[in-house]
């Protein structure tokens, strides 16, 4: 699976996903660090990537009529990178399975 990690999440998350065998980039890696959400969203769709974000705006982009994008909506409060990666480690298998069966939005809590 291919992921695009939004700017408010650490680049370490993209690295973790790469280590788990996925293609993952942080918005910094593709020169989108300062880009508006719709630009990031369109980039992800064009490159068949799942956006990973804490930003509620991406939820609204995902549920907008005709949208084909996919989102991992991170609903965890501020925490250390280590805790964030542990949450992802514990939920990654189910997250991948959800997308493979047609889900377009998966929440990480």
Task: Report all structural domains of the chain as residue ranges with CATH numbers, in order of start.
Answer: 2-108 (3.40.50)
pLDDT level of residue 96 (50, 70, 90 thresholds): very high
Task: Calculate the CA 57 to chain-centre distance.
Answer: 13
* CA separation for the pair 61, 67 (Å, rounded): 7
Rounded to an integer, the average pLDDT of 76-98 is 96
pTM of the model: 0.97
Average pLDDT value for the chain: 97
């Amino acid at each position: 699976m291919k992921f695009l990690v939004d700017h408010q999440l650490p680049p370490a998350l993209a690295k973790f996903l790469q280590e788990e065998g996925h293609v993952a980039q942080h918005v910094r890696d593709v020169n989108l660090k300062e880009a508006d959400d719709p630009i990031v969203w369109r980039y992800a769709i064009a490159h068949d990537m799942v956006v990973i974000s804490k930003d509620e705006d991406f939820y609204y982009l995902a549920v907008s009529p005709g949208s084909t994008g996919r989102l991992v909506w991170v609903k965890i409060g501020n925490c250390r990178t280590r805790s964030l990666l542990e949450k992802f480690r514990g939920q990654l298998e189910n997250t991948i399975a959800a997308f493979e069966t047609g889900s377009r939005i998966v929440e990480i809590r």
